[in-house]
Structure formats: structure tokens, C-alpha cells
Amino acid sequence: MEEFFYGEKTNMYKILIVEDDEKIAGILEEHLERYGYQSFRASDLRHIKDEFVKINPHLVLLDINLPYFDGFYWCRQIRTVSNAPIIFVSARTGEMDQVMAIENGGDDYITKPFHLDIVMAKVKSALRRGYGEYASVAESDCLGVNGLLLFPSQHIVEWQGQQTELTKNEFYLLECLMKQANQYVTREELLEALWDEVAFVDDNTLTVNVKRVRKKLEELGIENAIVTKRGYGYALLTEWGEGHEG
């Protein structure tokens, strides 16, 4: 019996597994296929970007400790051609490893040894956010706040004619803040907007994504826009450039 995924069959989704441990790769492949996903193992770990382009998957499960180049490098390479969700699966448990995963373009992080139920929850959540029930309802829509424009179909933010591309998590974070501009949004609500699986998310990952969105807004010329209310959450203040403490 095929599993249906919020109105669509799971077998429409292709998942690329980049893992040099054959046993772990096999476990992930078998479990994903059991749930109806099309799973592919990267066979040439020297040319992972090429394999990604050839397969064009909807999601990537990416190890960090790989031969030739590490997972951070390949995440950056994939980001040059795609915004598909990338979930790191690694034996590295350090906080800085998780920070680097997000800063290099990853969407989520799972530590080994992992529980397969957590892997599937994160995979389903990422696919919902990217392509399913919670994906942007109208690709032609443009969300605008005081001249700042957000384009859902391209994951691009624009200010005064200048544009920058956002990762999926950066996009969902900024979208949530823009929809509630000039109001503080709780950390819990932002985590829910990003992943929809609050119990499985490291709170530090939200902090990293906030910093990344702040930096991208600053590169466009908007400073001090996202402010912090300690112990509560964040707000997007739309008096661009006025300077606010956070």
C-alpha cells in the first residue's frame, strides 16, 4: 500500500543520500523506500555536485566526514545550483559543527547514531515546507513590507532594486517576521514556522538563521532590522536604518 503525503504520493519525491558508510547508506535507503520515496546513493564521492545535477533530487541527506571534500564544501556547491532541502546526518555532535552546517547552507542536522523515526519526521517536515502542504500557496505572490520585497517562488528578498537569495529556512524565518512586522514573534512560533517539528529542533539553529538573515539584510543596506527580546523572541522593525537596540 502506497503512503500518501498530504494529498500527493511520496514516490514523487527523490532523495539523494551522500554517505560513505555503506551500512548507514543502506539503512537510510531501505527505510526511505519502505515509505515510498525514491532514494539514490551518491556513487562518485569526488563529483557529488554532478550527481546532484543529474538526479535533481527534492532533498539531500548529507554526511560531513567524506573523502576528498567534506559535507560543508558539497553543501555550498549544491547551493550554487539549488535550494533543495539539505539535512546533515553526522557523527559530529559539537555545537559548532551544527552551526557550520547551517551557515554553509544546510536546513537541518541529525546526529549519529540516529533514530529512524526522527530521520523520517525531519524528511517529511522539510518536504512539506518545500513542496507540500506548507509550501507557498501562490508562486506569483510577492510579500512586501515598507519597500522590502519577498518572492516565494525564487526565495529572493529585494530592497531598492538589489536582490539576494535565501535558503529555505532563511526564507521561512523572514516570511514569518514580515507577516508580523513590528511585533515580537516567539522563538517557539518561529521554530514551528521553520520546521514544524519543534521537539526535534536545536534552539541554537534558530539563532544561527536569525544571524544569517540579519547579515543578508545588512548587505542590502537594511541595518538593525531584526531585534531580540531576550527570553521571548524576535521582531522585524520596519523603520529601516533608524537604529534599534536588540
Question: Quick check: is 59 in a domain?
Answer: yes
Helix (H) or strand (E) holding 200: none
Q: What span, in angstroms and rounded, lies between the C-alpha atoms of 17 and 42?
A: 6
Q: How far is CA 11 from the centre of its chain?
A: 21
- The pLDDT value recorded for residue 133 is 54
Question: Quick check: is 124 in a domain?
Answer: yes
- Number of independent structural domains in the chain: 2
- The pLDDT value recorded for residue 19 is 96
Sequence-distant contacts of 141-146: CB under 8 A, at least 24 apart: 143/175, 143/178, 143/179, 145/178, 145/181, 145/236, 145/238, 146/181, 146/238, 146/240
pLDDT above 50: residue 122: yes
- The pLDDT value recorded for residue 140 is 41
Question: Last residue of a domain, which of 131, 160, 181?
Answer: 131
Are 151 and 231 members of one domain? yes
Are 114 and 182 members of one domain? no
Q: How large is the average pLDDT for residues 149-160?
A: 85
Are 95 and 169 members of one domain? no
- The pLDDT value recorded for residue 141 is 58
- The pLDDT value recorded for residue 81 is 82
Question: Last residue of a domain, which of 131, 166, 199?
Answer: 131
68: domain range? 4-131
Give the global pTM: 0.60
Are 8 and 123 members of one domain? yes
Domain with residue 63: its CATH number is 3.40.50.2300
Q: What span, in angstroms and rounded, lies between the C-alpha atoms of 140 and 154?
A: 10
| Helices assigned H by DSSP within the chain | 22-34, 48-55, 71-79, 95-103, 116-131, 168-179, 187-195, 203-220
Are 202 and 147 members of one domain? yes
Question: Quick check: is 243 in a domain?
Answer: no
Q: How large is the average pLDDT for residues 92-107?
A: 93
pLDDT tens-place string over residues 167-206: 888 999 999 999 899 999 999 999 888 775 544 556 788 8
Lowest-confidence region among 124-133, 202-211, 212-221 = 124-133
Question: Quick check: is 241 in a domain?
Answer: no
Are 50 and 100 members of one domain? yes
Q: What span, in angstroms and rounded, lies between the C-alpha atoms of 156 and 228?
A: 24
Are 147 and 32 members of one domain? no
Are 12 and 120 members of one domain? yes
Q: What span, in angstroms and rounded, lies between the C-alpha atoms of 217 and 220?
A: 5
Question: Quick check: is 245 in a domain?
Answer: no
Domain with residue 176: its CATH number is 1.10.10.10
Of the two residues 175 and 56, the one the predictor is more confident about is: 175
Are 113 and 199 members of one domain? no
Are 223 and 173 members of one domain? yes
Question: Last residue of a domain, which of 111, 131, 151?
Answer: 131
Q: What span, in angstroms and rounded, lies between the C-alpha atoms of 119 and 116?
A: 5
* Average of per-residue pLDDT values in the chain: 85
**Burial level of 80, CB count in 10 A (0-12/13-18/19+)?**
exposed
Q: What span, in angstroms and rounded, lies between the C-alpha atoms of 8 and 204?
A: 33
Where b means 16+ CB within 10 Å and e means fewer, 190-203 reads bbebbbbbeebbbe
Question: Quick check: is 244 in a domain?
Answer: no
Question: Quick check: is 13 in a domain?
Answer: yes
CA angle at residue 143 from 139 to 149, to 5 degrees? 110
Q: Are 146 and 238 in contact (CB under 8 A)?
A: yes
Question: Quick check: is 246 in a domain?
Answer: no
Are 31 and 125 members of one domain? yes
Q: What span, in angstroms and rounded, lies between the C-alpha atoms of 122 and 49?
A: 23
Are 205 and 94 members of one domain? no
